Homo-oligomer: A and B are copies of this chain.
Amino acid sequence: MTKINDISMVTAFAPASIGNVGVGFDILGLALAGVGDRVTARLTNTAGVRVSDVYDLDGKNHPYLSKETDHNTASIAVKALWEAHGNSTGVELSIRKGIPLQSGMGSSAASAVAATVAANVLLPKPLAREQLLPFALEGEKYASGELHADNVAPSLMGGLVLCPIVLLPKMMQLRTPTDVSSVLVHPELQIDTARARRSLAKRYTMKKWLSQQGYLAGFITGCATDDYELIRSSFHDVIIEPQRSVAIECFDIVKEAAIKADAFGVSISGSGPSIFALCMSVNASNVAIAMEQACRTFGLECQSWISAMTAPGAYVEGD
């Protein structure tokens, strides 16, 4: 692949994503549809990577995110990419956040992915999509303090992606049913990802570990074979969810409402507070309404998104 030399400005969109995906703590991520971040990358004559703007959902300057190169996941990722494969020109990034911060929807990952995908087009020799993972991960590492790819990988590739830390930079797009969707509800609560992670127990009994890995293997197999009942019977996170759900006040009633509406299973997206369900696509609207109502009955405002499990990954606008 060679660079098309007359391109000096590119915009890419990268979707939000569900991290952990219940039984797949740190190793399974799922792309969402219709919600994500947009980043425009522009070649400049001044060497180095800069952030010119960070806009919020309403197009205003973002009140929290930094424009300093070393303190923004997008510019950290592009800096790593440019140092490895760039040239003497510089890159300027304009970021438009579409994903709420600290929502458990992979906000920091999406910015890093969108920026990396956009900047890649401006490289002298653009890389293949999957080769971008290590660079986007650099940004994520800054945001969460840990190396896990379960938001970056699905945002980059789309669909359900398996990305065990021990196998990185290898990641695997998993086969999923085409008629199953995720329903994600984001209640208006904020959770600190790094803190949520630190509060997890460090050791687990063999019994718990065997149960969880059994469910994980069952879930992957159920997705690969369109075995809906196996997906349903496997979608139980017995390790992380019980520890994290206590911090999300509405979790139990939202989960109950979704299950009652015939969702296959419900868990926490990332470290929360977003809650997601998996269900047949034809039933997704009902599940979304049930979850939203439960949330509002609890006194919390919320937003929700429905996405096919096969939701696409990042793309370059205009391609």
Contact = CB atoms under 8 A, between A and B. Distances in A.
A241 to B, nearest CB: 15
Nearest to A218: B167
A201 B206 contact: yes
Contact of A224 (B28, B210, B224): B224
B203 A166 contact: no
Contact of A204 (B25, B166, B209): B209
A295 interface: no
A205 B203 contact: yes
B210 A213 contact: no
Given A27-B214, A166-B215, A216-B217, A230 B172 contact: yes
Interface string A143-161: 0000000000000000000
Contacts of A212: 209, 213
A204 B27 CA distance: 18
Nearest to A205: B203
Contacts of A236: 166
A220 interface: yes
Given A172-B221, A230-B170, A233-B170, A206 B214 contact: no
Interface string A191-216: 00000000011111110011111111
A138 interface: no
A164 B215 contact: yes
Contact of A24 (B25, B175, B217): B217
Nearest to A238: B166
28 contacts: A25-B210, A26-B210, A27-B210, A27-B213, A164-B214, A164-B215, A164-B217, A165-B214, A167-B218, A170-B218, A170-B233, A172-B218, A172-B227, A174-B221, A175-B224, A201-B206, A203-B204, A203-B205, A204-B204, A204-B205, A204-B206, A204-B209, A209-B209, A209-B212, A209-B213, A212-B213, A216-B217, A224-B224
